[in-house]
Amino acid sequence: MARDDFLLGNPPHVQPLPFQILPSQAMDDNKRPRSNFTVILNGIHMFCAVTILSVPYAMKVGGWSGIATLALFCLASVYSGYLLGLCFEYHRTEIKTYPDVANAAFGRLGSYFVSFIVFCYNYASCVEYVVVSMNTLAYVFPTQLFSVLHHIITVGTLIAYVMIIVLYFVVCYHNFQKFNFYLTGLGVFLTLVLVLSLFTHGIVNHATYQLKSTKFFNPSTFPMALGFYAYCFAGHTYLPELYQSMREKRQFQKIMLIIFVASFFLYLAVAINGYALFGKDVQSIFVLNMPKNQVPAVVAILSTLLDQVIRYVLGVHSISRDLDELVKRRNHGLSDRTIGYVIRAVLVGTTIIFSLMIPVYGTLMAFIGSTLGIVVALIIPCVCFLRLRWDHVTRPQGVLAGFIIVLALVASVLGISKSLPELIKGVED
Q: What is the domain partition of the chain in residue ranges?
A: 3-425
* Predicted local confidence at residue 15, as pLDDT: 47
Residue 271 near residue 58, CB atoms below 8 Å: yes
> What integer pLDDT is reported at residue 10 of this predicted model?
43
CATH superfamily of 3-425: Amino acid/polyamine transporter I (1.20.1740.10)
- Predicted local confidence at residue 31, as pLDDT: 52
Helix (H) or strand (E) holding 127: helix 98-140
**CA neighbor of 130 nearest in space, from 184, 177, 166:** 166
- How far is residue 259's CA from residue 257's CA, in Å, rounded to a whole number? 5
Q: What is the pLDDT of residue 18?
A: 46
Q: What pLDDT is recorded for position 30? A: 44
- Dihedral sign from CA coordinates of 107, 110, 116, 121: negative
Q: What is the pLDDT of residue 222?
A: 94
Global pTM value: 0.88
Q: Other C-beta atoms within 10 Å of 212: how many? A: 7
Q: Would you state the pLDDT for residue 28?
A: 46
pLDDT confidence of residue 329: 64
> What's the confidence (pLDDT) of residue 111?
92
Beta bridge pairs of residue 151: 148
pLDDT value at residue 176 = 62
Extended beta strands in 235-312, E state: none
Low-confidence ranges of the chain (pLDDT < 70): 1-32, 93, 149, 174-178, 328-335, 427-429
pLDDT of residue 6: 37
